[in-house]
Structures are given as structure tokens and as C-alpha cells.
Amino acid sequence: MTHAVAQFAAIAATALFILALYWMNDPKTARRGVYAGVAGMAIAVVATWIQPEIVHHAWILLAIAAGFLVGVPLSRVPLTAVPQRTALSHSFGGLAAGLVGTAEYYLWLQEGPEHFTTFRMSALVAEVILGFLTFTGSLMAAGKLQEVRWIPQRPVTYPGQNVVNLGVLGAAVVLGVLLVRHPTAAWSGSVFPAVIGLALLFGVLLIIPIGGADMPTVISILNSYAGLAAVAMGFVLDNRLLVTAGALDGSSGLILSIIMCRAMNRSFTNVLFGAFGTVKKALVAGEQKVWKQESPEGAAQLLDQARLVVVIPGYGMAVAQAQHKVRELFDQLTKRGIAVKFAIHPVAGRMPGHMNVLLAEADIPYSALVEMDEINPEMPQCDVALVIGANDVVNPAARYAKGSPIYGMPIIDADKARTVLAIKRSKKPGFAGIDNELYVRDNTWMLFGDAKGVIGDLVKQFAGGGLH
């Protein structure tokens, strides 16, 4: 009876996971999707716990309590830290898979060789390699996003780096194959830790040459790795729920990675081995153009005279936590009958959907958010394009500068607007490491400063009667 209940619970949990992914496709049902995912996970834990073959040690309850003590504070991070928080979740998942695989291997060594079938041992090796490389890779990604002092945000490259990286991974795979063929050999006890060490090292080497501009794609790829590790763990433990949940996680991460690579017009190999983000100076033919600066008063007048304003948010808005001030500006403009739309680039920010989440937190109507492909045809009719902390996703060099690291990446056509107001903290380049020629265009005016402060000044001009 208990086994039947556990099987039914596993099916129910799988169904909830599928519904969670489906509902989170639409902002109107996203909250329902989150609840479904939480309920599915709770049922999955209980379904595993009640199975008769599970040993009910009291210390497992202590482990669950410890998980709550760590998880609850991590759930309260600011929205600007959600990308690195997501990377940490992937690292925990990878570590769990790696540790379970390690425990299973040494347990089988003690219990007898009958457990070491070729299939199960192959799954265990895959679980360990994927789990541990996801662990260190995700930690490195979180460190880059958090701008930890001892982890460089810029790509770290050296001659022959890709050969070294592939060599490390290849060595781990070769040793893994040896373990599959000879799992109980006298030397296996020293080879297994070597596989773990190489997987941990590869996770670090995989991430250090990748720049911050590629972090959204990297996070989704690591999500896929974590899901694949869970699938392998399900085969090792003969747990169908782990297999299905891991497959959902891995496939969704892979699909999202493909979508984001297409949004940047780049391939997986280019993201993982292209060292995107290497600092390069922009080459400007002829006379060096200068940045033209505008005051909040002048910018407010330009906005007040517009019929259509397109706001283009980026990571600078997230860092400044300016989304609520943006909402105030949105209210002031719409109150005056000015149409306001938000142009969303697929890779703006540091994680998929970053800008959507921030704007939703500020209660910006979702109907005002427009995807890149839909807004670009309207940009020539746009009176003012207000760029808030976005950089590479509006750089016209992506269209024609073949030597640029962003060449070929689809961008929001901000330069085609009649007037561009660009809010930027400094003249430093973005994460792609190149200057943005949009800022020196004849129709562009710069507003230097923290996005929250600059938008606040614009709001004051409207609310305080500064406009006549």
C-alpha cells in the first residue's frame, strides 16, 4: 500500500512540475506556477520519505532543518542579486548530485560488486562529473555576478586555453571510462577522487574565460547541466521521479540557452570558448566625436513634448534599483497622454527575464512591455528613446563592425529614434568591453549619474511644476 501511494505521489509531483513550467510561461499565471512547483517538490520529498526501503534516520530531519535555515535567508535577496542567487541554487544542486554519486560508489564497494553494472556505473560517472563541474562552475558564475574581489569579472584567457580545458575534461572522461570497465580494481580507489578533482577543476576553467555579458546564457547552460546530473542520479538510485524532474530541468535549461544564443546570434561553442567580453577599443574613423550632455530639465522638456517614448532598461537600472522611480516617471508621462513602451532585449541584465522581473516588481503593466522584434519596427516613429543603464544591447556596432565581439547580435534600434536620452553612470564600456557608438551619435544626449537619482530628478521636473 505504501509503495502504491509513493508511486501515485511521484506521478502527481511530476504533473505539478510540468504545470509549473507551463504556467510560468505567462505572467498572469506565473504565481500559480511557482506554487505548483513548490507543491510538487513538497510531494516529491514526502513520496521519497515514505518508501519502505528508505532508512528513516533522525539525522535526515536535521539535514532538512539545516536546509531551511540556509534557504530562507537566501530567498530574501534583493532582485538585483537574483542572478547570483540562481547560480548558487545550481551549485547546490550540482554538489548534491556529486556527493550522492560519491556516496553510492563507496557504498557499492562495501556491499558487493553486483551493483556495478555497466549502465549504472556509467550513470554514476556522468552524475559525478556533471555534478561537480556544475558546482564549481556555478560558484564562479555567482562570484562574477556578485563582483567578488578575487574573481575577475573580465574574461581570463591565455594561449592554448581551450586545449587545456578540453584536456582536463577529456582526462576526467577517460578515467571515468576506466572506472566503468573496472569499478572494483585495486587502483579504482585513487582514480575516483581524481575524476572528482578534474571535474571540479574543469568547472572553474570553464567559467573564467567567460565575460559578464554572457552570464545569462551561462546560467541557463549550468541549469541544464544540473538537470542532467539529476537524471543520471535518478538512474543510479532507480528513482523515476528524479529522472523526470531532472529531464524537465535539463531540457528547459537547454531550450532557454538556445533561445538566448539565437538572441545574441552566437553558438554554444562561441559562448563557452569565445572569451566574449575581452576589452577592445572602438575604432572611430575620422574626427573623434564627443559625448553631449543634457540636464534633467532639458531631458524632461524633450520627454514632455514627445508622443511616443520607448524606455530601454538594462543592468544599470537593476544595480541602481531604479524600477520604482521608473514607474513614477511612467505614471507622469501617461498622465500627460504620452504613450510609453518598454523595449525588452532577451539578454538585458544578468539572467533570463531580468528586466521583466524588475519592472513587474514596480507594477509596470505587462502590456507596456514589448519584445525586441516587435518594438524595432516602431523605433523610427519613436520621439524619445530613454536608455536606462543598457549598453551592449543598443550598440549599433553590432550591425556592421565585424571585428567587434558583439557583431551580428540583434539589438534594439535605439539609434533610429528621433532623440535618444541615455542614462549612464560613467564613460566606461559595458560588459562586452567596447565603446558604444550610440552615445556619440548626433541625436543622442547623455544623462550621467546613478539611474535612480537621474530618474528621480526627471520625476521632480514633472511633479514639481518644473515644466510649463
- Domain stop point among 273, 306, 325: 273
Distance CA 276, CA 408 (A): 13
Highest mean pLDDT pick, 165-179, 239-253, 404-418: 165-179
347 and 260 Cβ atoms separated by less than 8 Å: yes
Enter the DSSP assignment of 134: H
Amino acid identity of 263?
A
Concerning whether 392 is annotated as a catalytic residue, the answer is yes
Average pLDDT over residues 191-219: 86
Domain range for 209 is 98-273
Residue 290 maps to a domain: no
pLDDT value, residue 55: 62
Per-residue pLDDT band for 278 (boundaries 50, 70, 90) equals: very low
pLDDT value, residue 162: 84
Residue 357 maps to a domain: yes
Enter the DSSP assignment of 312: E
Assigned C-alpha cell, 213: 555579458
- Domain stop point among 9, 41, 76: 76
- Least reliable range by pLDDT among 142-156, 161-175, 325-339, 454-468: 142-156
- For residue 408, give the nearest of 397, 418, 417, 416 by alpha carbon: 397
pLDDT value, residue 467: 63
Distances (CA, A) of 2 to 42, 71, 124, 243: 17, 30, 28, 21
SS3 11: helix
pLDDT for 193 beyond 60: yes
For cell 563592425, name the residue. 401
Residue 283 maps to a domain: no
37 and 17 Cβ atoms separated by less than 8 Å: yes
pLDDT value, residue 468: 55
pLDDT for 328 beyond 90: yes
Residue 346 maps to a domain: yes
241 and 48 Cβ atoms separated by less than 8 Å: yes
φ, ψ of residue 431 to 5 degrees: the values are -65, -20
Q: Which of 414 and 287 is assigned the larger pLDDT?
A: 414
- Least reliable range by pLDDT among 148-157, 161-170, 248-257: 148-157
Assigned C-alpha cell, 122: 556509467
Q: Are 335 and 447 contained in the same domain? A: yes
Assigned C-alpha cell, 456: 528621480
Residue 289 maps to a domain: no
pLDDT value, residue 280: 47
Average pLDDT over residues 310-325: 91
Residue 88 maps to a domain: no
pLDDT value, residue 374: 95
Q: Are 242 and 342 contained in the same domain? A: no
Q: Are 300 and 447 contained in the same domain? A: yes
pLDDT value, residue 465: 61
Q: Are 241 and 108 contained in the same domain? A: yes
- Least reliable range by pLDDT among 195-199, 250-254, 283-287: 283-287
pLDDT for 283 beyond 70: no
Q: Are 257 and 300 contained in the same domain? A: no
Q: Are 42 and 127 contained in the same domain? A: no
- For residue 100, give the nearest of 74, 70, 63, 138 by alpha carbon: 63
pLDDT value, residue 54: 67
Q: Are 123 and 269 contained in the same domain? A: yes
Q: Are 308 and 397 contained in the same domain? A: yes
Average pLDDT over residues 198-205: 95
- B/e letters for 139-160, b = 16+ CB within 10 Å, e = fewer, are bbbbbbbbeeeebebbbeeeee
Q: Which of 426 and 97 is assigned the larger pLDDT?
A: 97
Residue of 214, 249, 392, 457 with catalytic role: 392
> What is the number of other CB atoms lying within 10 angstroms of the CB of residue 258?
16
Q: Are 312 and 440 contained in the same domain? A: yes
What tens digit of pLDDT does each residue of 28-53 get? 788 899 999 999 999 988 887 777 66
Average pLDDT over residues 151-170: 84
- Domain stop point among 42, 76, 110: 76
Q: At what angle do helices 188-207 and 161-181 cross, to 10 degrees?
A: 150
SS3 435: coil
- Mean pLDDT for the chain overall: 85
- For residue 369, give the nearest of 335, 341, 388 by alpha carbon: 341
pLDDT value, residue 387: 96
φ, ψ of residue 190 to 5 degrees: the values are -95, -25
Per-residue pLDDT band for 330 (boundaries 50, 70, 90) equals: very high
Distance CA 257, CA 247 (A): 15
Q: Are 186 and 118 contained in the same domain? A: yes
Average pLDDT over residues 450-465: 89
CATH number at residue 345: 3.40.50.1220
Q: Which of 263 and 439 is assigned the larger pLDDT?
A: 439
Per-residue pLDDT band for 229 (boundaries 50, 70, 90) equals: very high
17 and 240 Cβ atoms separated by less than 8 Å: no
φ, ψ of residue 51 to 5 degrees: the values are -65, 135
- B/e letters for 356-395, b = 16+ CB within 10 Å, e = fewer, are bbbbbebebeeeebbebeebbebbeebbbbbbbbbbbbbb
Q: Are 219 and 133 contained in the same domain? A: yes
**Would you mind telling me the total number of residues written for the chain in this entry?**
468
Residue 89 maps to a domain: no
Residue 255 maps to a domain: yes
CA dihedral (131, 174, 151, 406) in degrees, to 10, reads -100
Count of the separate structural domains present in the chain: 3
Q: Are 150 and 205 contained in the same domain? A: yes
